[in-house]
Amino acid sequence: MGLSLVRCPLCDRRYNVTGIPPGTKVLCTSCRTVLTVPGNRFVAPPPFWHRFVPRSGAAQAASALLGGIVLAAVCFVALKEAQSPTTAVAPPVDTPPTTVKAPDTDSKDPSFFINNSENVKRVLDEFQENPRFQIYKSQELKPFVLVGEKDDKANLPEIFAKFEELLPKLYRTFMKEFGDSLKLERIKAWELPIVFYTRRASYDAWWRGVYRKPPIPEVYGVFSYLERRVSLYYDLTLDGIDGGRTREVLLHEAIHQLVDHYTRRRKKADRLGAWWFQEGLGNYFEGYYATEGQLTLTPGKTTSRLPLARDLVGERSTEYVDLRSLMLWDVEAIWTEWLALGTEQDREQQLKKLQCAYAESWVLVHFLCHADDGKYRPLFLDYFQSELQGQGGWDEFARLLNRHHPGLELIQLQEQFKEYIKKL
């Protein structure tokens, strides 16, 4: 009797799936790629682009970072939304992304000036009378409020309980890590809405209605800047094999939501923020571990990105980006240069570059917060404040670097950064 095998396209591992029904999703234990059991017995040939992907531990880790595409979409969402999300089933329009400025204080953009309580009411009113969705609020969940899509296979109370355990811990950890030092006021009401869809079709319809573009299959969640809410696809089939992926996406997007909440109260300018800061900060809070059924957050200690980060400073690496270039990137650069999909080979190369950039951004935030017993943490906190005021970017970082560490050149900081990566 022949074996039914499935090959992981990134790390090249093969798995015997004989007897498992075709179409069943299984998890690659090496790189956490979700695989689908084939309908016949064969060894899947490697894709033609496979020769471009090195079989190192870093490449294997890269697939675990496919969630990085989620974060790229977050950037795109944050600054490129131009339509109202009222039409949930509008057909996609396949047009290239256009340049959209962040709303300025003279535009009277209602989504920017609307207060948080009114924003929550707006979101809840959208789902209040919809029998397909359930709204969940509790004292323990503050400052978040949840909206979940009903499904025969979805245990909403259980999902709500998971989120209720994790999200308040995230907020307390965020405030302890940065909020108290930045003197951020506490959020005392339900002001941060999170909507999750349990059907991919529903999530995709929402995506088309908001962005007028086809959904990206790898994107499981975004923070929508104009809607001011997190929207997630909660893949029920992943609960048994990779429930942690949903948690990582949730943590990352909720950090974007928190930063946006405080930015709207302090914004003084409409300069585009730095990509590395937004995404590096989101990555910084992805880490958690479970012991005896309890989830503990470990900000700054995300290990899934570490192998790829180390590979960036290897002798043969061509993916490392010098700090000045990394700090100059904004949303436009990321989206237009890397996510304008061409051939499948181009797409895979673009995704790999993006994954490397996420890994490097995570380490950069980690470095500025913890290197040399927090030597650069005051610099990072000052820069954090500038981002909240809409005044972030390369020039601001360079100014603050000179202010906190006179005479220290960026090239010297970069060498320290590289050594820091090697020792992690």
Is residue 157 predicted with pLDDT exceeding 50?
yes
How does residue 237 score in pLDDT terms, banded at 50, 70 and 90? confident
Is residue 95 predicted with pLDDT exceeding 50?
no
How does residue 49 score in pLDDT terms, banded at 50, 70 and 90? very low
Is residue 247 predicted with pLDDT exceeding 80?
yes
Q: How far apart are CA 234 and CA 166, in angstroms?
A: 15
Share of the chain above pLDDT 90, in %: 42
Q: Answer left, alpha or beta for residue 183, where phi above 0 means left and psi between -120 and 50 means alpha.
A: left
Closest Cα partner for 304 from 1, 50, 31?
31
Tens-digit pLDDT profile for residues 390-402: 999 999 999 999 9
Which residue bears the tokens 């990321």? 334
- Where helices occur in 227-343 by DSSP H, the ranges are 239-266, 275-284, 306-312, 323-328, 331-338
pTM (predicted TM-score)? 0.73
How does residue 316 score in pLDDT terms, banded at 50, 70 and 90? confident
Name the 3-class secondary structure at 15. strand
Is residue 70 predicted with pLDDT exceeding 50?
no
The domain spans of the chain are 5-46, 57-424
Is residue 10 predicted with pLDDT exceeding 80?
no
How does residue 2 score in pLDDT terms, banded at 50, 70 and 90? very low
- Please state, rounded to an integer, the average pLDDT across all residues of the chain: 77
Closest Cα partner for 364 from 287, 270, 244, 274?
274
Higher-confidence position of 133 and 41 = 133
Q: What is the pLDDT of residue 81?
A: 43
| All residues at 6 or more sequence positions from 47 whose CB lies less than 8 Å from its CB, including other chains | 9, 344
Is residue 280 predicted with pLDDT exceeding 70?
yes
| All residues at 6 or more sequence positions from 22 whose CB lies less than 8 Å from its CB, including other chains | 37, 38, 39, 40
Rounded average pLDDT over 360-384: 96
Both structure tokens of 351 = 């995704």
Rounded average pLDDT over 268-287: 86
Q: How far apart are CA 155 and CA 159, in angstroms?
A: 6
Higher-confidence position of 269 and 215 = 215
120: exposed, middle or buried (C-beta count within 10 Å: 0-12, 13-18, 19+)? buried
Residue 65 is which amino acid?
L
Q: How far apart are CA 110 and CA 411, in angstroms?
A: 43
Higher-confidence position of 244 and 406 = 406
Q: Are strands 144-149 and 192-197 parallel, antiparallel or unpaired?
A: parallel
Rounded average pLDDT over 138-152: 95
Q: What is the pLDDT of residue 211?
A: 81
The count of other CB atoms within 10 Å of the CB of residue 414 is 15
**103 cis-preceded (ω within 30 degrees of 0):** no
